[in-house]
Amino acid sequence: MTIEYLIPIFTCSHSASFKRIPMEIIDQIRQVANIIDIVSQYTTLRKRGKKHIGLCPFHSEKDPSFTVDDEKQLYHCFGCGAGGDVFTLVMEKESLSFPEALKFLADKYNVKLPERRKFSPQLQKLEEQLFKINENTLAFFKKNLFNTKEGEKALDYLQKRKISKEVIQELKIGYALNSWDSLILFFKEKNLEPKLLEKAGLVLFSQKKNGYYDRFRGRIIFPIFNLTGKVIAFGGRTIADAEPKYLNSPDTPIYTKGKFLYGLNFCKDSIREKGEAILVEGYTDFLALYQAGITNVTASLGTSLTSDQVSLALRFTPKFNVSYDADPAGKKAAIRAISLCFEKGLQIKVLTLPEGLDPDSYIKKYGASQFNKLVQKSTPGLKFLIDSHLQEENIEIPEEKAKIARDIVSEIGKIPDPVIRSEYFKQTGEYLSIDEHTLRSMAKQKPIEKKAEEKDSFLNAEKRLLQIIIEDKKIGPYVFAEIKEEYFQGLRSEPIFIALSESFKKGEESSLPKLIQKVDPSLSGSLTRALQEKEQDATVEEALECLNTLRQLSLENQAKKLNSEIARLERNKERDKILPLIKKFQDIKNQLSLLAERNYQNLGYNKGDSTTKERS
C-alpha cells in the first residue's frame, strides 16, 4: 500500500511548504541506510557483543558512552541522552530538516525520490485495493498448495526438486488451480468485480466468451514482493506441460517489469552482509541456491538485466556476480549485465558453470560447497568481456583486433570513476597486447556516446512486440489481425512494422535476413541488438498488451497535436474551426479512458487467442 504523508519543508523565511513523500519510500531508505556506516562517518566504533560503542559525536567525552544497535538501527548516548534513528542522526549532525536528511540518504544509497506530482486520491485508493487483492490472492494460492488434491501434485513436484516445506513456507510459494475461474469465484464471494482483478493482472477478458478467466492456471506460483514485503506480482511455472513454461504478471499500477529483482526482499540483509549479490536468471535457480544456504542471491525474473535493477541492487552492494545459463543467450545477457554495471559503477564478475549447467543443475549435481568455490574463482567482468570478443574475432587479424579494442574502449568509457577507467585501460592493454596510450588515445579521438544506444533504442512495448512477432511465428497472425498503421506512425520501428505488415499481407514468411535488407543499416543494428536480449516465452496476451500500449501512445500523440492546434486557432481567433477539433479531442480521450479500464477492450480476440482457443 502506497500511503503518502505531508512532510513540511521549511524555507529560509520559516514558512512551511509541503511535499508528499510516500511512506514506502521512507521505509526503503530506512531499510537500506546502514546506521553503522553513517555513525562511523562521525566517530570510531568498535563492536561489543551485539552492539557497537564509541565516543559520542554530540558532546566531548573521554570514555565511550555512545551505543549503536545495528539490529534495531538505533543509537543512544548514556552521557548526554542523545538518541534516535538514522534520520535523526543525519538531521542533527548535518543540521538538516527531515526532507533534506531524506534526500541526503536517498542520494547516498541510490534511492530514487519521486518527482513532485499532483496528489491523486483515486490512484492511492487503486493502489491500496491492488495490494489488498494481491494479499488475498497469495493466501488463496498458498491454501491451494497445501489443502487441495491438485496442490499435492505441485508439492510433489517441488519436493522432487529438493525444495523443503520450510523454504516453501518462507518464500510463500503457492499453487494456481488448473481452472478457468477458481480465482474469480474466490473473489466473487468477497463481492469484488473482475475488472479490478484485471487491473491487478490476475484475470483476462475474452470477447469471444464475453467474460473473464484466470490468468494463472495449473501453475506453481512464486509471489514477487517489493522491498517492504508487499506482494506486487506473481510468476507461475506450469506443471501441466502448458506453454509458456513460465508466465509472469503484466505491468500494473503497482508493478513494472524490469524494475524489481526476485527474492531481494528476503536476501537483502545477507547481500549487504556478504558485500556481493549473486544474480541468477529465474525462480528455480534462485530456489536452488537459497535452499542450499546461499542466501546472497537474487533473480532478474527471466529477462535481461535492466538499468533499474542494477540501481536497485546498488542500494545493498557494490558487487555483482552473474550466474546465468551457459547457452549463447545467457552469455549475451551476461555481457549486457557487464555493460550496465560498468555504467552504474558496480563491480561485476561472471560465474561460468562447467558442462553447460545452470545453477539449479549444478547445485543438485555438485552441491553448495563446490558452487561457493566456483564463486571465488569467478571471472572479472572486463576479462569476460574481452574473452567473449576473442572467441568471436581473430586477434591475429589487425582489423578484427582493432574492432575488439574499439568495443572494449567504448564499454570502459561508460565507467564513471576515472581511477577505475585508468586501471581498466591498463588491463585491456595487457590482455590484448596493445599499448595503453594507444587505447587512451582511441577514447579521446571519438568521445564515447554513453547514451547512443538509448537514443537509438525502441520503446519497451515497441521492442518487445518486435521480439515476439519475429521470433514466434505463431503469434504474428494474431497481432497483424489487430494492428493498424497509425499505431506505429512516428515510432523508430515504423519501417520495420511496415515491412513486416507487407510480408504478412502477401502471405510471405518474414525472416530476419530478409527484413534487414529492407531497412536502414542503423535500424537493423538496433533490431538485432533487441533480438539478442533474453526474454521469457511469449504469449498472445503479452503481444496484444504491447500493441495496446502502442495504441495508447498513438492516441496520446494525436491528443497533443490536437491540443496544440486548438490553442493555435484560439490565438488566431478562428473559433469556427475549433468545435470539430474539440469533438475529435474528446473522442480520443474517451478511447484512452476505455483502454485504461480494460487493456483488451478494443483489441478484440475475434480470431481467438492461444488461451481462448484452448477453451473452445
Fold of 264-386: Dna Topoisomerase Vi A Subunit; Chain: A, domain 2 (3.40.1360)
In this prediction, residue 607 carries a pLDDT of 38
Segment 481-506 mean pLDDT: 80
Segment 382-387 mean pLDDT: 96
In this prediction, residue 95 carries a pLDDT of 66
Segment 485-507 mean pLDDT: 80
Under 8 Å CB-to-CB from 148, ≥6 apart: which residues? 175, 177
Under CATH, domain 458-597 is a member of which superfamily? DNAb Helicase; Chain A (1.10.860.10)
For the sheet with 347-350, list strands across it.
Answer: 297-299, 277-280, 319-322, 347-350, 379-380
Confidence band of 13 (pLDDT split at 50, 70, 90) = very low
Average pLDDT, the chain: 83
Segment 207-223 mean pLDDT: 93
- Report the distance separating Cα 40 and Cα 33, nearest Å: 13
Confidence band of 613 (pLDDT split at 50, 70, 90) = very low
Asked if residue 606 has pLDDT above 50, the reply is: no
- Residue 573 region by backbone torsions, left for phi larger than 0, else alpha for psi between -120 and 50, else beta: left
In this prediction, residue 532 carries a pLDDT of 67
In this prediction, residue 266 carries a pLDDT of 94
In this prediction, residue 475 carries a pLDDT of 84
- Asked if 488 contacts 500 with a C-beta cutoff of 8 angstroms, the reply is no
In this prediction, residue 21 carries a pLDDT of 63
Angle CA 235–239–243, to nearest 5: 70
In this prediction, residue 156 carries a pLDDT of 94
- Asked if 592 contacts 555 with a C-beta cutoff of 8 angstroms, the reply is yes
Q: Cell 506443471, residue?
A: 239
Cα distances from 531 to residues 175, 304, 349, 426, in angstroms, run 32, 11, 24, 33
Asked if residue 220 has pLDDT above 90, the reply is: yes
- Name the residue with higher pLDDT: 81 or 38: 38
Confidence band of 480 (pLDDT split at 50, 70, 90) = confident
Per-residue pLDDT of 271-295, as tens digits, reads 988 999 999 999 999 999 999 999 9
- Asked if 83 contacts 39 with a C-beta cutoff of 8 angstroms, the reply is no
3-state secondary structure of 378: coil
Per-residue pLDDT of 530-582, as tens digits, reads 776 756 677 888 888 888 888 888 888 888 888 778 877 777 777 778 878 88
Take residue 194 and report the three cell numbers written for it: 473482475
Q: What sign does the CA torsion over 378, 383, 388, 392 have?
A: negative
CB atoms within 10 A of CB 132: 15
| Least confident interval from 68-82, 274-288, 394-408 | 68-82
| Least confident interval from 94-108, 341-355, 382-396, 512-526 | 512-526
In this prediction, residue 474 carries a pLDDT of 80
- Asked if 296 contacts 321 with a C-beta cutoff of 8 angstroms, the reply is no
Please state which CATH class domain 121-248 belongs to: alpha beta
Task: Check residue 493 and report its DSSP letter.
Answer: T
- Report the distance separating Cα 511 and Cα 533, nearest Å: 18
Q: Are strands 51-54 and 66-69 parallel, antiparallel or unpaired?
A: antiparallel
Beta partners for residue 176, in sequence order: 219
Q: What is the dihedral of CA 153, 155, 160, 166, to 10 degrees?
A: -170
- Report the distance separating Cα 529 and Cα 426, nearest Å: 29
Segment 7-11 mean pLDDT: 34
Buried-exposed string 483-505: b where 16+ CB fall within 10 A, e elsewhere: beeebbeebbbbbbbebbbebbe
In this prediction, residue 120 carries a pLDDT of 62
How large a percentage of the chain has pLDDT more than 70?
87
